[in-house]
Structure 1
Amino acid sequence: MNSGRRLTLLGAIAGLAFAGAVQAQGYPTKPIRIVLPYSAGGPADVMVRAISQKLGDSWGQPFIVDNKPGANEIIAADIVAKSPGDGYTFLVASDGAYSLNQNLYPKIPYDPVKDFVPVAKLAVGNLMLVTRPDFPAANVKEFIDYVKRNPGKLNYGSIGAGGVNHLASAWFNSINGLQMEHVAFKGLPPAVQELMAGRIDAMFAVTGGVAPFLETNKIKALAVSGRNRQPAAPNVPTFAEVGYPTFDASYYFGVVAPKGTPPEISARFARDMSKVINTAEFKSKYLQPLGFEAVGDTPEQFAAFLKSDRELGAQKVKVSGAKLE
């Protein structure tokens, strides 16, 4: 390459870099859309709207939460996958959209690896192993021993085949050699009602959904996932405390953006979101009552997590036998 062409190429590269820097400095110039695969008013919706308000105040543009529930998070994920990667559309979703659906369904309309760029893990939710009030076990070891003595005679509930609590139960049973029948319900309330009535024996449930029933002894709690005990149920030990340090029954909410989103925008979103969710006020008001733990990592850390989580998710779906249409 002669010196003239080299200078021209270097000038073009510098011009592109300068244009990118100018664009980044001017961003955002319009509202940012957060697509959420859950109904308005639910725990995740309340949490995301609180984050959006804080980010909108600091970014100088409103964050619009767009609820697109349905199809195990596929509808929302597909919308974001087909959106332009210009930094104005993000998806906040859980394990289903990013790690599980490709193993649960014969075909989905988006590729969770190719169509998104990871932004950050927002928060982790912890599931609690609970039983009917008269279940003859006072701890996890006694639970395992009792189920082993009664193979195939006991059941466990879930809020739907292939959901995180179904997979948690199936995984727990697999690694401990337990045989229990799966009973699926349409949502947590009917499952909890059947558990309290003694018509199902056990289940893994979201902490915030069952904590109100623990104090009245309508449900018995044996252990909860997570690094620490949950403020919503401080008397329930962690699995690590009762001798099962490697067992994890958690789920997460994470943020991704469409492919092509500038990395500096993803990094800014991750950094500013982390500042919001890791304040003591936000944790106490929006996370701890629901059994959530703040994370707020970097795009690189979330990408590494997703790689391992997808591998584990494939194993859990295989063990559960869940298949959805």
Structure 2
Amino acid sequence: MPHFSQPTLRRQLLAALLTAALPLVSAAQSGFPERPITFVVPFAAGSATDQLARALGNAVSEQTKQAVVVDNKAGASGMLAAQSVARAQPDGYTVLIATNTTQAANEHLFKKLPYDPVKDFAPVTGLAKGGQVLVVRSDSPYKTAAELVAAARKQPGKLSFASGSASSRVAGEMFRQLTGTDILHVPYKSNPNALTDLIGGQVDFMIPDTATGVPQIKGGKLRALGVSTTQRIALLADVPTLDEAGVKGYDMSYWFAAYLPAHTPPAIVARVHELLLNATRSAGVKSFNDSTGTTAWTSTPEELGRFQASESLKWGKVIKAAGIEPE
């Protein structure tokens, strides 16, 4: 067995450490990004997640002079998008613009996921938080949440609610549970698709995120009956909370966050974190937040990981309380 002196061992150890660190150093010094970045969105064009992703993408592109491509992979409650990012190269060029649907709720809504919401991703930062709003068609006979509840109780199983995300699904189920009503659930690939059918008269109501619902409310196509949060939303100041409207104990919100594939080098995670933090302060993202009733929210990767863990517990309890059986 060869014998090495202490200085030799120290030199070898130092060389090994430097070699291991080279990918991180080169990643930080290579001017990342050197080519277009793809933001993968779990929902359709026009959805809240899509709107935010495009605003962020424009801001990141301005910083880096590289294009940001928004890839909408709608369907399967965001699972298609999450799975594609989980399988992507961990090089920083594929970013999941995620929500509580993909990262906290799905594991409680489905018996088997094609991805692990924790092990398959590297958290980057929170992006925004927001509330939801119960809406009906502008020509609906229901002027208040109480009238909607009364109709649902009078006609068990006749009224229907649409959903295009886990948030809107659980929001509707919670409404049904807290009001003791029998209402049919009609699932959609994304909230914009569901709103189209709501406006067209195919379903009776839904509880989308404010980013998707507010433009239709302001445009006169939908009527707001209540917001999902415990406090009124400034953008809809004259709309009561659902708790105020008689659905006691109602409280729902949603969030957006950015994730990279697991095993992305820490230097790349740090660089994407820096780019996104700057992007959240941009005029485009501020405009998105102001116009949709959402609030900017950023975090360190570690804080996002802890937040996701607590949210998974919360959503698990809400889904169980709403009586939703995993599919």
TM-score (norm 1): 0.79
Equivalence for 2:238: 235
Structure-2 separation of matches of 1:214 and 1:153: 30
* 1:125 partner letter: G
Aligned-residue Cα RMSD (Å) equals: 3.6
* 1:298 partner letter: T
Alignment of 1:138-157 (within 5 A): 155=159, 157=161
Structure-2 separation of matches of 1:264 and 1:245: 47
Alignment of 1:89-108 (within 5 A): 89-108=94-113
Is the CA contact 2:199–2:221 (under 8 Å) kept in the aligned structure 1? no
* 2:317 partner letter: Q
Distance 1:145 1:111, change over 3 A: closer
Distance 1:40 1:205, change over 3 A: closer
- Where 1:165 maps in the other structure, the secondary structure is helix
Equivalence for 2:167: 164
Confirm or deny that 1:129 pairs with 2:130: no
Cα-to-partner distance string for 1:219-270 (whole Å, 9 max, x where unaligned): 3423342766242x23224568889997532222221111111223223322
1:67 is matched with which residue: 72, 97, 111? 72
CA drift at 1:167:
0.4
Alignment of 1:130-279 (within 5 A): 130=135, 134-135=141-142, 137=144, 155=159, 157-159=161-163, 163-174=166-177, 176=178, 178-184=180-186, 186=188, 187-194=194-201, 200=204, 203-211=206-214, 212-213=216-217, 219-225=223-229, 229-231=233-235, 233-238=236-241, 247-279=250-282
CA drift at 1:276:
2.1
Distance 1:8 1:173, change over 3 A: same
Unpaired runs of at least 5, structure 2: 189-193
Structure-2 separation of matches of 1:307 and 1:245: 27
Unpaired runs of at least 5, structure 1: none
Is the CA contact 2:143–2:225 (under 8 Å) kept in the aligned structure 1? no
Is the CA contact 1:124–1:294 (under 8 Å) kept in the aligned structure 2? yes
- Where 1:205 maps in the other structure, the secondary structure is coil
The alignment of Structure 1 onto Structure 2 pairs a total of residues equal to: 313
Equivalence for 1:301: 303
Structure-1 separation of matches of 2:220 and 2:108: 39
Distance 1:112 1:52, change over 3 A: same
Equivalence for 1:21: 25
Cα-to-partner distance string for 1:18-59 (whole Å, 9 max, x where unaligned): 552233121223322222223345443343123212212212
TM-score (norm 2): 0.78
* 1:296 partner letter: T
User: Percent same amino acid at aligned positions?
Assistant: 28
* 1:129 partner letter: L
Equivalence for 1:9: 13
* 1:252 partner letter: W
Equivalence for 2:93: 88
